[in-house]
Amino acid sequence: MRVQVAIIGGGPSGLLLGQLLHNAGIEAVVLERQTREYVLTRIRAGVLERGTVNLLEQAGAADRLHAESFTHDGTVISVNNKHFNIPFHKYVNKPVTVYGQTELTRDLYDARELGGAATLFNVEDVIINDVKSDSPSIDCKIASESIHIDCDYVAGCDGFHGVSRQHIPSDVRREYEKVYPFGWLGIISETKPVHEELIYANSDRGFALCSMRTDRLSRYYVQCDANDSIDNWSDSAFWDELKQRIPEQFADTIETGPSIEKSIAPLRSFVCEPMQYGKLFLCGDAAHIVPPTGAKGLNTAASDVHYLYNAFKQRYQHNDDEALTSYSQTALKRVWKVQRFSWWMTSMLHRFPDQSEFDINIQRAELDFLRESEPAQASLAINYVGLPY
Ligand code: APR
Ligand code: PHB
């Protein structure tokens, strides 16, 4: 097999890049380790920046999103029993779109099938060859059958635990990491969302988040110990804890019900530099991870795709390598700003085990300033709705 771009990973990054390249007439194949059904069992985030929506529209995968998503012009921040709204539209003319990543991934798979784009599933033993040469290639297996793919470029879209990043030599690769001393216990319930906007709650008992998927599907999180287990959390224990962390007016009205999904996610910040090596280009979680507090994981994967897609278009349509050569530098400039915002939101809203009374007062002052200061709210809004590409 020969393609112009071989994409490792059939999550949001790989699918979005593959679909954009396909629509631009650039030959690409997506190699996914799992089955489509397995990928679609993953429950992830649900807030999309305008830029992400634009890319999905370009990919021809935004029809259901426009029919079923919510548009939010603000969010609620609460501190124990008090809360305030941050009206994004007052500071920046860009709303966010609330639409589950699982649905977005499904839409991308459907668009690829409709357009005849090549996605290979159950791909095993991926080996990337000769990324420093002009003729890289990939060897892999499907059901024990060996497959060899010649290509011009390889896009590593295989997530944090993928193989691509490891193909950047350790003496070239620089990794930056911050592991947070807590996790998020999340549930999905077939209940009416407690509020029409998201609620980010700082409480003496820890962080909580009230989110949603549809008007009958709610997504809630509570901060938990980093090594906690869902076995320790019955549905009633979850609801009781959530109610103690959000303002009474919401706790008194929230509709509770059985969880149809329950999981614990660790929180970490991670960046790999550079995001390219020879003909290998990293995209999304393969290159960086953010704590979910700022809803930036999927959206930063999308901004990487924007840069890489346009760089490939420059290369193939105008024989111009400049954007490819500067991809890592361009992408990392925005990645680090997103890392800062995600770290800031996480630091402001969570209880840290080693927090002193001084630390807690600093956190309260930060939240007080955010409540009172329009420039502070504008800064949150500009980052939350999405920095420019
Ligand atoms: N070979 C082929 N596919 C692989 C390999 C491999 N060796 N290793 C991993 N994969 C696949 C995974 O099965 C997964 O489907 O790569 C895909 C990577 O997808 P994600 O981990 O979702 O990463 P990404 O596409 O960058 O999306 C980032 O999705 O998971 C969320 O929190 C993440 O919101 C962020 C967004
Ligand atoms: C979600 O709906 O899953 C979600 C929303 C906002 C976040 C994180 C997760 O910051």
Q: Which atom of ligand 2 is nearest to the CA of 296?
A: 10
Question: Of 32, 106, 139, 184, which is best to mutate to test ligand 1, by the most ligand atoms within 8 angstroms of its C-beta?
Answer: 32
Q: What is the pLDDT of residues 297-326, one digit of tens each?
A: 999 999 999 999 999 999 999 999 999 999
Tokens 């346009």 correspond to what residue?
310
Q: Which residues line ligand 2 (CB under 6 A)?
A: 45-47, 198, 209, 211, 219, 292-295
Q: By alpha-carbon position, which residue is closest to atom 33 of ligand 1?
A: 297
Task: Output the pTM of the full model.
Answer: 0.97
Q: Which atom of ligand 1 is nearest to the CA of 164?
A: 7
Question: Of 7, 13, 109, which is best to mutate to test ligand 1, by the most ligand atoms within 8 angstroms of its C-beta?
Answer: 13
Q: By alpha-carbon position, which residue is closest to atom 36 of ligand 1?
A: 298
> Would residue 141 show up in a list of annotated catalytic residues for this protein?
no
Going from the Cα of 375 to the center of ligand 1, the distance in angstroms, rounded, reads: 36
Structural domains in the chain plus CATH codes = 5-70+96-177+268-345 (3.50.50.60), 180-267+356-385 (3.30.9.10)
Q: What is the pLDDT of residues 216-248, one digit of tens each?
A: 999 999 999 999 999 999 999 999 999 999 999
8 Å CB contact between 60 and 16: no
For the chain, the average pLDDT equals 97
Q: What is the pLDDT of residues 169-208, one digit of tens each?
A: 999 999 999 999 999 999 999 999 999 999 999 999 999 9
Q: At what angle do helices 12-23 and 297-318 cross, to 10 degrees?
A: 30
Mode of pairing for the β-strands spanning 208-214 and 199-202: antiparallel
Give per-residue burial for 124-161: e unless 16+ CB within 10 Å, then b: eebebbebeeeebbbebeeeeeebebebbbbbbbbbee
